[in-house]
Structure 1
Amino acid sequence: MPANIPSLPFEVETELERAIISDLDWLAGANWGEPRPGHPEGTIKSHIAEVLSNVDKYYLDNSYRESLRLIALVHDTFKHQVDESLPRSGENHHAMRARRFAERYLDHETDDAILEIIELHDEAYNSWQRGNRDGRWDKAEERATRLLSRLGDSLPLYLAFYQCDNETGDKDQSNLEWFREFVDSVRKEEK
């Protein structure tokens, strides 16, 4: 690793990972963060380390492993670039900023599922939050249905990442459980 790259709480495994973590934009985001609800680990790089640990725990010998690692490296790394004076949506959302960064390293044709999941990684949680916050579970399910439509065949990879990301810090598991149950109910209806 180049001398100007600070030590990280995880190991890189591929040349692509090395290129990503050597990018100064990525480094700025990885070093950002303080302990907060859902993320008592503080910095983004510490969160990434927890997600990567879950990837190894659940998907060590799985064909999703390399994709999960790439999603983990980038998904929350651009929270520091969000302009808090503007709505956190569209190009001013950390997930879209992460996707734009990843597009510099990944191929739109072959890596589209990874790019989509980076952009949509919080959408299942946001769907659940809609129901949990104000009891509008019909709206939560509508939003989750749109997510499933957009993910298409990438749903299993999304679910795998959601598990790895959600089982970190002090995150409540209710949202993951709700989304899994929702997905199961949709699959049953489709049969």
Structure 2
Amino acid sequence: MNADEILRAIQTDPRYQRNLDWGEPRPGHPEGTVRAHIAELEQNLEKLRPRLTEEECGKLRLLIHTHDTFKGEAAHGVAITHPRSHASLARAFLAEFVTDQDILAMVQYHDEPYALWRQARHRDGAVNETRLQALREAIGDWTLFLAFNVIDGCTEGKDGAPLRWMFQTLGGSVSSRIMEADIL
């Protein structure tokens, strides 16, 4: 199946459908529901589309539609690798449709750059090098991962500081075609 066929299968899955209307306005997500968040990210993808291949756009749509879909079913305050985290639930769901381990790692670790940034802020800028190295090893396609973080991080209610930090910290690992996008 291609990305469009996989996305259609995801969108018709009852588990996906039941989670779309979860959420209410909160810090970082003033749009409220998962459905509204997805719509905002789809708009961001369109802004970034001229810098991406069709294959990248297809993969990004899969990430857009799955990354936060299981927040309503997740345990609160657990690590992203915990089986009941929203990221782990999203990864398990997406794994039923794709075998691409890099895409699965991206959905699992999509919030890790933000978590590393927050942790560094509380440690006088000191980065948890072990955790950062684990992220570097988990992700293969840094251009795609960065593109997703731009799409997810450039929404109303989100601060641009974590993205700027990510560009600085991961410097040589990222593609300038994404870093120079008009969406930033």
Partner-residue secondary structure (3-state), 1:91: coil
> What are the superposed Cα offsets for residues 57-114 of structure 1, whole Å, 9 maximum, x if unpaired?
1124622110000000000000011133x734410110010000001111x2xx2221
Unaligned 5+ runs, structure 1: 1-12
Correspondence for 1:180: 167
Correspondence for 2:74: 82
Question: Aligned to 1:96, which of 60, 63, 88?
Answer: 88
Larger Rg computed on CA atoms:
1
Q: Distance in 2 between matches of 1:54 and 1:95?
A: 21
Correspondence for 1:73: 65
Moved >6 Å (runs of 4+): none
> What are the superposed Cα offsets for residues 130-188 of structure 1, whole Å, 9 maximum, x if unpaired?
0113425132x44223211221x31111001000000012100100100111111678x
Q: Distance in 2 between matches of 1:157 and 1:87?
A: 26
Correspondence for 2:182: none
Question: Aligned to 2:52, which of 56, 62, 67?
Answer: 62
1:20 to 1:60, Cα distance in 2 relative to 1, 3 A? farther
Correspondence for 1:40: 30
Correspondence for 1:143: 131
Q: Distance in 2 between matches of 1:169 and 1:117?
A: 22
TM-score by length of 1: 0.81
Q: Report how far residue 49 of structure 1 moved.
A: 0.9
The alignment's C-alpha RMSD in Å is 2.0
Correspondence for 1:169: 156
Correspondence for 1:10: none
Q: Percent identity?
A: 34
Q: Out of 17-26 and 119-128, give the one that drifted further.
A: 17-26
2:10 counterpart of 1:20: yes
Alpha carbons 1:98, 1:118 under 8 Å: kept: yes
